[in-house]
Structure 1
């Protein structure tokens, strides 16, 4: 019998499911999602979702991907600084909208901003990345 206070190990309990989820990131990269942009998405969503493990992991990945320290230092206040390109700002706004899920928010302006910089196919991959990191944040938090 399992100790009810013991942390869960989902990847051991359901390796097929969690293995397939892990493969999604490789698919996104194969469909052209820039790694530096992906780690910004994943870091910002992890900050919002307050997943300390994921924040630390994505900070490390961002440094390896060449994301500047200025961007890493100011990601949480990205609207207030000029370190992010208009394309990155559009993605960060989309990331926040899909992570906070404010039912009253109109996404049409955000889609319009995204389409200035990305194709619909790219936006679909970006959206998948946002959804996946939110899932991983929740999985990771459920382990503690």
Structure 2
């Protein structure tokens, strides 16, 4: 049961977060990569509402069931490109942030596939989905209700 419904949220709060989402949508990063990151981070954080949402978004893009069902074990499968693997590893590192800096090896691996602008957007995308996950864990929006608006 929802603790806080969509209509209970203070005016402007979600709109401001949506402005960031629009920035990410218009970034040089591919939508499918962004959605993979959002789904994986949501899995790591145990956010059922966001897992449902980003699973449906990826299905809408034509993502395969094999890759969707294997995302939780992406490191053990051959279904993801080196670029996707690098982004997923970075997403998991940023999601499990510690007091230590991001390892230099992780950052250097990013430079093989992304320029500095893209790394900035990738970092923002990861922190943004972590924000959404945490809000949904507090608000407890009901999973399964998300519908694609495309």
CA distance in 1, matches of 2:7, 2:33: 26
Q: Which ranges of structure 1 fall in alignment gaps of 5 or more residues?
A: none
Displacement, 1:6? Answer: 7.2
**2:118 matched to 1:122?**
yes
TM-score (normalizing by structure 1): 0.89
Q: Paired residue for 1:101?
A: 97
Closer, same or farther: CA 139–10 of 1 in aligned 2, 3 Å: farther
CA distance in 2, matches of 1:26, 1:101: 25
Of the three residues 56, 62, 73, the one matched with 1:66 is 62
TM-score (normalizing by structure 2): 0.86
CA distance in 1, matches of 2:7, 2:105: 38
Q: Paired residue for 1:86?
A: 82
Q: Count the aligned residue pairs.
A: 140
Q: Which ranges of structure 2 fall in alignment gaps of 5 or more residues?
A: 141-150
Q: Paired residue for 1:45?
A: 41
Of the three residues 125, 128, 131, the one matched with 2:127 is 131
CA distance in 1, matches of 2:26, 2:91: 20
Give the RMSD, CA atoms, in angstroms: 1.8
